[in-house]
Amino acid sequence: MKDVLLFLFVMSMPFSWFAGSWLPFIVCATPGILVFYFVVVGNLNRNSLREVFGKMRRMHVRMDAVAKHARRLSSRRHGWQAALDQALTTLDEPAIHVLVSKVLRAEGYRPVTDRPIDSADSDTFLMRKESKHVVVKLIPKPEKVTSQSEIYDFVRNMDDVKADKGLEITLGPISRQARKLAERNQIQVINRPELAKRLVANRKRIRQRKRRTDETRESNATLDLVSLN
């Protein structure tokens, strides 16, 4: 290969002389210049390149470890959601009311009337979130299918109390037409998988709040000991 490059380099000079142009010389000399650059200059900078490659290799190992950890957390979270999704179908209605009450209160919903949301007397409640009135309807029966007629009844309930929007939490299926009608009338629909997801998020939020409380308590205790000394 070196002999071929040398032959082309030498023979390009007379061709360039007779042709009156340096183009043949440039075309034939370019591969040799590139080979010289990558071989000679690469050997001179081998130590610095080795350090760069080492950093890239360590970064790749670190990113791979982070990706594996994220996959483990994701599978664990989806496992919790799948287990809750199945467990919600086996709970009785009062237990469903209590769980939904905790989730809504954690997300900032507050009851407007004196009837608590965990009351089993009714499945429709008037609540408030960020100075907006929201009609919340709970369907705790997994076999109950939400149809368009029920969405129309929900819209009438919203008009009666002059609510800004609606929220339907259903453990059963909802038809496609009913879902489209709900979206057009500012009604958010939470199905059973979404409810399980919010239960997991609420559990995570409670654990984080408890951890922050413990850290604050430990910090205050340390400050008290320092002040006593």
Residues 7 and 97 in one domain: no
For residue 197, is it within any domain? yes
More confident residue, 28 or 185: 185
Q: Which domain holds residue 127?
A: 93-205
pLDDT computed for residue 121 by the predictor: 42
Task: Give the H/E segment covering residue 52.
Answer: helix 46-88
Highest averaged pLDDT of the listed ranges 26-30, 42-46, 170-174: 170-174
More confident residue, 51 or 154: 154
* Terminal Cα-to-Cα distance of the chain (whole angstroms): 81
For residue 36, is it within any domain? yes
For residue 85, is it within any domain? no
Picking from 136, 29, 51, 143, the residue whose alpha carbon sits closest to that of residue 90 is: 143
For residue 193, is it within any domain? yes
- As a whole number of angstroms, the distance between CA 13 and CA 113 comes to 97
Q: What is the pLDDT of residues 53-100, one digit of tens each?
A: 777 777 777 777 766 766 666 566 556 666 666 777 777 788 888 888
Kindly report the CATH number assigned to the domain that includes residue 143.
3.40.1340.10
Residues 98 and 193 in one domain: yes
Q: pLDDT at residue 6 above 50?
A: yes
Residues 171 and 100 in one domain: yes
pLDDT computed for residue 120 by the predictor: 46
More confident residue, 199 or 118: 199
Residues 110 and 189 in one domain: yes
Picking from 205, 112, 127, 208, the residue whose alpha carbon sits closest to that of residue 169 is: 127
pLDDT computed for residue 34 by the predictor: 64
For residue 15, is it within any domain? yes
| Band of residue 162 on the pLDDT scale cut at 50, 70, 90 | confident
| Number of domains into which the chain is organized | 2
For residue 221, is it within any domain? no
- As a whole number of angstroms, the distance between CA 66 and CA 220 comes to 34
For residue 104, is it within any domain? yes
Residues 101 and 189 in one domain: yes
More confident residue, 144 or 15: 144
Among the residue ranges 83-87, 88-92, 143-147, 220-224, the one predicted with the least confidence is 220-224
Cβ neighbours of residue 118 closer than 8 Å, sequence gap 6 or more: 94, 97, 98, 100, 101
Averaged confidence pLDDT in the chain = 72
Phi, psi for residue 151 in degrees, rounded to 5? -65, -40
